[in-house]
């Protein structure tokens, strides 16, 4: 689409917006519409007239994660698990099979949905961040403003982190686009159709948000649904383990701060368990959970329908094939290691009415979201603790790294790693990757582990031959496979964006 056509589209959209402005429902509570300050002589817009409006908008940010799980949870599991060796796509739909057989292109509807949803989330966060210091009645102190802002910064950094790992060069937008008029259409173009920032610039923006947020975010409480200092620390540990920002000493430092704040490994039942008598999750806010999204009886979490049975309503939505079916290669890894504990926490077998990958009378399903009342654990201590082990391996401190890995293995009732493994850096790194794979299966980590440690070609080009259940490989993994394609509809709408190499 050329620039002239885009201008015309903007103008039409602007006129349509004006034409529809009288068609609205009365509002009796604060929404994200803009308030006008009638005490001003000009047309200055006031987004937040008072503290109540700030609280309402912040809750909207939290609610966004809870209500719109497709892009940050459902699709991330598809990408991280079925696009790696952990799982098959599960169903035969054209939107999911390309992640299994490596035939993704810019027309994929999952990729398009994710880009658009992430950009909407960024806009939601930006409106809060830009306006939090302009509360009309002056009811917030500077420190209170910073605490509110920090939570939105953590939210925005989570989005950018997901985006940069998926697509590399992405637009880093920190402003709010002005309403379009005939007078400002030229300058509005860049705001509505931004260019991409480099990967390094994206990580720098994430780092800046988090370094400010870690100072001002709420301190840790028993409520693990809040964007606290430890959520910021977990994200900092994760971004410092990534290219091109890699700083393993900072990974260690931030994980140590999380440990010092009282986090520790918990029982798997407290993480993923379901109580059949109460028809509820066994526990929420475990001592291992850093950030979780909670679903109470009566509200429910629809995402469980996509992966298996909803144990709170056993036959609900179980008439169609599910996404993210555990792979034979992952099952074999658990069995080779004698890892019964984590296998049973990660995979469950049911009879079903389809046989896409296994016989229908004993079909495996992902088991880490067991009911509509279970929490989705976004970040947990075992993940960042293992990242510390990775950092120690990189720093040559093999014995210290082995101690952490063995701590994780001990909870899974597995013996310590053999000395022949722990004394060799390459062997220990391989064992570490297996440990993360068994520990964090179906939590959206595997693909990004392979990318971070440059293992995509080595692992993924070999798995098709040894895993008889996978769909045939359509394209070989190469140096261009580490990033996803930008959605073609987005490219068509914005000629400032450039497609990633290889697509």
**Measured in whole angstroms, how far is the alpha carbon of residue 169 from the centre of its chain?**
17
Q: Check residue 9 and give its pLDDT.
A: 47
Short-list 467, 488, 397, CA closest to 84: 467
Short-list 132, 122, 115, 145, CA closest to 61: 122
Sign of CA dihedral 362, 363, 367, 369: negative
Q: Which residue pairs, CB below 8 angstroms and at least 24 apart, start in 239-242?
A: 239/161, 239/203, 239/206, 239/207, 239/210, 241/387, 241/390, 241/391, 241/452, 242/165, 242/203, 242/452
Q: Check residue 30 and give its pLDDT.
A: 31
Short-list 94, 75, 276, CA closest to 162: 75
Q: Check residue 184 and give its pLDDT.
A: 67
pLDDT tens figures, 127-145: 999 999 999 999 999 999 9
Residue 106, phi then psi, degrees to nearest 5 = -65, -10
Residue 400, phi then psi, degrees to nearest 5 = -65, -40
Residue-by-residue pLDDT tens, the chain, 503 positions:
544 444 434 443 443 333 333 333 333 333 333 333 434 444 567 999 999 999 999 999 999 999 999 999 999 999 999 999 999 999 999 999 999 999 999 999 999 999 999 999 999 999 999 999 999 999 999 999 999 999 999 999 999 999 999 999 999 999 987 776 666 666 666 778 899 999 999 999 999 999 999 999 999 999 999 999 999 999 999 999 999 999 999 999 999 999 999 999 999 999 999 999 999 999 999 999 999 999 998 878 999 999 999 999 999 999 999 999 999 999 999 999 999 999 999 999 999 999 999 999 999 999 999 999 999 999 999 999 999 999 999 999 999 999 999 999 999 999 999 999 999 999 999 999 999 999 999 999 999 999 999 999 999 999 999 999 999 999 999 999 999 999 999 999 999 999 999 99
CA distance 8 to 16: 12
- Per-position DSSP letters for 399-418, written without gaps between them: HHHHHHHHHHHHHTT-PPPP
b/e map of 59-91 (b: 16 or more CB within 10 Å)? ebbeebbeeebebbbbbbbbbbbbbbbbbbbbb
Percent helix, strand and coil across the chain, each rounded to 5? Answer: 50, 5, 45
For residue 177, the SS3 value is coil
CB 236 within 8 A of CB 161: no
Short-list 187, 137, 128, CA closest to 156: 128
Q: What is the dihedral of CA 250, 253, 258, 260, to 10 degrees?
A: -170
What distance separates the 2 farthest-apart alpha carbons in the chain? 77
Q: What is the dihedral of CA 219, 221, 223, 224, to 10 degrees?
A: 60
Q: Check residue 44 and give its pLDDT.
A: 60
Q: Which helix (H) or strand (E) holds 270?
A: helix 268-272
Neighbours of 293 (CB within 10 A): 19
CB 189 within 8 A of CB 13: no
Neighbours of 447 (CB within 10 A): 25
CB 470 within 8 A of CB 463: yes
Question: Taking the model in full, what pTM does it have?
Answer: 0.91
Q: Check residue 299 and give its pLDDT.
A: 79
Short-list 58, 225, 229, 39, CA closest to 129: 58
Q: Residue 397 contacts by C-beta under 8 Å, 6 or more apart in sequence?
A: none
Q: Check residue 14 and give its pLDDT.
A: 42
Q: Which helix (H) or strand (E) holds 292?
A: strand 289-293
Tell me how long the chain is.
503
CA distance 425 to 391: 12
CB 201 within 8 A of CB 172: yes
CA distance 130 to 135: 11
């Amino acid at each position: 689409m050329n620039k002239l056509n885009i201008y015309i589209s903007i103008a039409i959209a602007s006129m349509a917006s004006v034409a529809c402005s009288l068609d609205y429902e009365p509002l009796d509570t604060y929404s994200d519409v803009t308030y006008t300050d009638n005490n001003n002589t000009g047309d200055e817009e006031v987004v937040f007239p008072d503290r109540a409006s700030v609280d309402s908008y912040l809750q909207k940010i939290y609610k966004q994660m809870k209500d719109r799980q497709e892009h940050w949870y459902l699709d991330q599991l598809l990408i991280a698990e079925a696009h790696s060796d952990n799982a098959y796509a599960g169903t035969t739909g054209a939107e999911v099979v390309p992640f299994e057989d490596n035939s993704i292109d810019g027309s994929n509807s999952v990729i398009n949905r994710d880009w658009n949803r992430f950009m909407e989330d960024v806009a939601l966060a930006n409106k809060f961040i830009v306006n939090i210091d302009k509360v009309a009645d002056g009811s917030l102190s500077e420190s209170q403003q910073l605490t509110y802002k920090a939570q939105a910064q953590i939210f925005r950094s989570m989005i950018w982190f997901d985006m940069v790992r998926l697509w590399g060069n992405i637009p880093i937008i920190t402003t709010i686009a002005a309403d379009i008029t005939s007078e400002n259409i030229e300058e509005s173009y860049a705001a509505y159709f931004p260019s991409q920032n480099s990967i390094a610039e994206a990580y720098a923006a994430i780092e800046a948000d988090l370094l400010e947020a870690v100072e001002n975010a709420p301190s840790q409480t028993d409520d693990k649904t809040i964007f606290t200092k430890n959520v910021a620390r977990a994200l900092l540990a994760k971004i410092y383990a990534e290219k091109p920002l890699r700083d393993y000493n900072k990974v260690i430092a931030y994980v140590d701060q999380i440990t010092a704040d009282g986090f520790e490994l918990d029982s798997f039942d407290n993480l993923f368990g379901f109580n059949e008598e109460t028809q509820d999750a066994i526990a929420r806010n475990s001592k291992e959970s850093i950030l979780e999204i909670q679903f109470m009886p009566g509200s429910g979490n629809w995402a469980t329908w996509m992966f298996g049975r909803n144990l709170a309503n056993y036959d609900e939505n179980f008439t169609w094939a599910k996404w993210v079916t555990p792979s034979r290669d992952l099952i074999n890894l658990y069995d080779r290691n004698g890892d019964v504990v984590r296998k049973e926490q990660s995979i469950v077998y049911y009879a079903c009415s389809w046989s896409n990958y296994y016989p229908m009378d004993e079909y495996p399903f992902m088991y880490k979201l067991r009911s509509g009342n279970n929490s989705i654990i976004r970040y947990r201590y075992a993940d960042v603790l293992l990242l510390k082990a990775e950092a120690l391996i990189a720093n040559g401190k093999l014995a210290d790294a082995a101690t952490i890995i063995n701590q994780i293995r001990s909870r899974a009732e597995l013996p310590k790693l053999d000395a022949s493994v722990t004394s060799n850096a390459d062997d220990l790194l391989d064992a570490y990757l297996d440990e993360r794979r068994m520990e964090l299966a179906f939590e959206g980590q595997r693909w990004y582990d392979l990318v971070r440690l440059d293992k995509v070609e080595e692992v993924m080009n070999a798995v098709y031959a040894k895993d008889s259940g996978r769909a045939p490989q359509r394209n070989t993994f190469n140096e261009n496979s580490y990033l996803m394609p930008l959605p073609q509809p987005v490219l068509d709408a914005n000629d400032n964006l450039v497609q990633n190499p290889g697509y």
